[in-house]
Structure 1
């Protein structure tokens, strides 16, 4: 006798007419909101374009800032200089993250024996957070070579990157310190009660939680660093901004600056959207009771 398996019971759940109507209403409302947003955006853009185009000096402005001939002429040089900006962003970003984390850990050390280290770290953060970046760049790029120290490079790219690291390490250190201080003291107490040392508690308990909580502001600082790499051109480094300046000085046309600006915006937007996505994801996990 053969044994025949019973067929799986059919799905007995059937959404009610009220729920079907509610979902249909939500979809219709979403489509309507999307159409309204698209229409208002297009209308606003049309008004702005009309105001700009109808202005008395538009023809001269178009020739000076939006000249297609000079855009094509300057694009290869700007892209070649942009590679320097990308290299600076990657190298300085890595250094800033590591150095900022070290400074933040030093600022959170406990005990009177660490007071000199805490004082030095605090003075460093306060000074470079208050010092404008362009002044720091000028002081490092032109001041360090004037000292004529043996073994110290005079390359404006290296010195400009060092100045960027000095400034942004102070900002990133404060971001890390804020994340460390958000970890509840009970976490440290629990770790110490399990036999972990202070260093082990910081490494395995505090820092993993702190770093996850400050990912969005860290990404914001990296976006700012990416834009500020263009300031190294004041020391003579030929990056995207300096390349645009060279072409503009020859032709007295400012279209190369517009090209450089558009390229920087194109590089920044993906990181900005990534920051928004990470922030929204962490907010959803936090609201649902997940691990932050």
Structure 2
């Protein structure tokens, strides 16, 4: 699009002073980039030299960073990681649904809904207070021991159920914060237009609330991706368990490093998406604004 000067009718061109400013900013940006790259290389090199020059480094390298052992363990660990990913996806969907329902129950108005509000509050208090590992033990070992007819005995199912119950409590509080951040005038305006309470929540409150809590929800997804490895305590052969089996043969801990690297490879993109969503929602600037 060409900008035309209103006084002369000719296309606008930057003045020599403006061109000088643009050139100066480009030089500063290039200079900052070069300095950042050089300083990063220097720091990383110093750390590598400092670590590799220690007396115990050869033993550590052999025990934790053996490339041959890493290649041997990679297929089994990667196969176990695929189980972690499936558990994360299914659990994440259920967590969002249950968390949203619990959050809505906690925000219901009127004394008739007090039992539902009390149940939702008790749910969030209990499962936020219990350590996740304890919930996994209780469900993974306790429920199958009851031998109730019709209940599954698969450790993956009960490990995923523990993740869903625990994370739903945290996600419910995130959703509740988003719902309560919507100004009451929004509800009043919707009700004055004839919308019912359910339609007000669906079309007015929830769209705004969900948009505002996307960054913390993505943070919970990152945590869920890591904590999905805790189901290994039930004997499930996921990435952590596969690394443990590979380590048990010769007590070389390189498979654990491989599993950690794969988890990081999944976590870093999710973290960058979280940062992007936070900037888009204005979380790194003015709270609640949209950039």
TM-score, structure 2 as length reference: 0.94
Give the CA RMSD over aligned residues.
Answer: 1.8
Q: Distance in 2 between matches of 1:10 and 1:254?
A: 73
Q: Could you say which residue in structure 2 is the equivalent of 1:44?
A: 43
1:252 aligns with 2:254: no
Q: Could you say which residue in structure 1 is the equivalent of 2:191?
A: 192
Deviation at 1:83, TM superposition (A): 1.1
Q: Could you say which residue in structure 2 is the equivalent of 1:6?
A: none
1:129–1:70 distance in 2 versus 1, CA, 3 Å: same
Contact 1:81-1:239 at 8 Å conserved across structures: yes
Q: Could you say which residue in structure 1 is the equivalent of 2:135?
A: 136
Q: Distance in 1 between matches of 2:101 and 2:66?
A: 48
Unaligned runs of 5+ in 2: 1-7
1:273 aligns with 2:272: yes
Q: Distance in 2 between matches of 1:14 and 1:154?
A: 74
Q: Could you say which residue in structure 2 is the equivalent of 1:96?
A: 95
Alignment of 1:56-95 (within 5 A): 56-95=55-94
Contact 1:285-1:291 at 8 Å conserved across structures: no
1:69–1:286 distance in 2 versus 1, CA, 3 Å: closer
Deviation at 1:18, TM superposition (A): 1.4
Q: Could you say which residue in structure 2 is the equivalent of 1:161?
A: 160
Deviation at 1:145, TM superposition (A): 1.3
What is the number of equivalent residue pairs in this alignment? 284
Deviation at 1:12, TM superposition (A): 2.7
Deviation at 1:173, TM superposition (A): 0.4
Q: Distance in 1 between matches of 2:216 and 2:50?
A: 37
Unaligned runs of 5+ in 1: 1-8
TM-score, structure 1 as length reference: 0.94
Deviation at 1:290, TM superposition (A): 6.9
Q: Equivalent residue of 1:283, what SS?
A: coil
Contact 2:280-2:290 at 8 Å conserved across structures: no
